[in-house]
Amino acid sequence: MAIILEWTTPTRQDHTGLLPPMPIEIYEEIFEYVAAVSDPLQDGPTSEAAVTRRTSLANLALVCRLFCSLSLQHLFHTVVFHYRYENPPSMAFARALVQQQPAAVALAPLVRTVVLAHWHPEDLFDQAVYRMHQRAARRLPGVAQIVLRDAPFTTDTLRTLRHSPCLKVLRLESVELDGYAEDEDDLDLAIPPVEELVILDTIIPGNGSLHVTVDTSKLQVLRVNLDRSLEIVLDSSPPVLSVLDVDFAHYGHSMQATDDILVSLRTYLASEAGRRLKERIIRLPDHIPAIPTIMSSRLQQDAR
């Protein structure tokens, strides 16, 4: 990751004098441990774990320049634009990015993951704020993962995806794509290529006025739990797919696996592309015969 401040290895001493310098890798491990107290992808910004993590890293940043650099890398690795909380910590950062304030511009390259969470129902939040957060996300040049969780998919969202040159992972969780079209001329939705695509509780429409296509030219990992979404992706014949994770036994969707999609799934797994998979995890409801899975060598060792 980029280091914002110039630094040297901190000196240590005790009553006998200077101690040998400690390798930077040890400091990095310590900061990894501190940052692991909370997962920004799962914990809300006001949770006790999130507050503890943020406070600890902020305090460590005051110790020396090395600690400041290591702290900032963790503090800004994942930025969550969360709408269920008043004045979330990311609000000021988003505004500063849009205004191109120097401090925000300097911190922007540290961000690797952007989460837009809990923005539904649409009539209960400020559309202007949502658009501001989308604009802020487009000013983060190093973003490798974008997560939409219970958030509307808009033209601004698509623009954000297309203006993220380092994007490798896209997670769609409880996203309504049906409401994407904002006018009669805006009925085609092409999701740009990513290496990992996670589609959970999100229906990718294949019929109707909105036409959705998924560019799977670079897709290596697919995780999905709804049959219609799986069908849309598999129909595009992803050429380099190596991991397929299908969960039709998901508690809320145990009846979603139709006969047609099961036939399509079995056909794909039996095809040349399916046989090239390095790992496939298929979870089906109890009343459906199991489909053999392939585990990676690492998973096989763990299973033993």
What band does 194 get if pLDDT is binned at 50, 70 and 90? very high
Q: Token match 């095809």: residue? A: 271
Cα–Cα distance for residue pair 137/115, rounded to 1 Å? 9
pLDDT tens readout for residues 114-147:
998 876 565 566 777 888 889 999 999 999 999 9
pLDDT of residue 256: 54
Does the pLDDT value for residue 299 go beyond 60? Answer: no
pLDDT in tens, 14-32: 888 888 888 888 888 999 9
Tell me if 143 sits within 8 A of 166, measured CB to CB: yes
Q: Write out pLDDT tens, residues 236-265.
A: 888 899 999 998 886 555 445 567 788 888
pLDDT value at position 145? 95
How many CB atoms within 10 Å of residue 117?
21
Helix (H, G, I), strand (E, B) or coil at 73: helix
Beta pairing, strands 17-19 & 12-14: antiparallel
CA distance 160 to 135: 7
**pLDDT(12) > 80:** no
Give dist(CA 133, CA 148) in Å, integer.
12
Q: Which two tokens stand for residue 6?
A: 């110039």
d(CA 180, CA 189): 8
What pLDDT is attached to residue 301?
43
pLDDT at 66: 87
First to last CA, the chain: 36
DSSP string, 95-115: HHHHTT-HHHHHHGGG--EEE
Average pLDDT, the chain: 79
User: Considering the entire predicted model, what is its pTM?
Assistant: 0.82
Q: What is residue 41's DSSP assignment? A: T
- Which SS3 state, helix, strand or coil, does residue 266 take? helix
Q: Which two tokens stand for residue 177?
A: 């794509």
| Residue 303 confidence class, pLDDT cut points 50, 70, 90 | very low
Q: Which two tokens stand for residue 216?
A: 């799977």
Burial 27-45 (b: 16+ CB within 10 A, else e): beeebeebbebbebeebbb
Type of residue found at 221: V
Q: Where are the beta strands (DSSP E) in 89-236?
A: 113-117, 145-149, 169-173, 188-191, 196-200, 211-214, 221-224
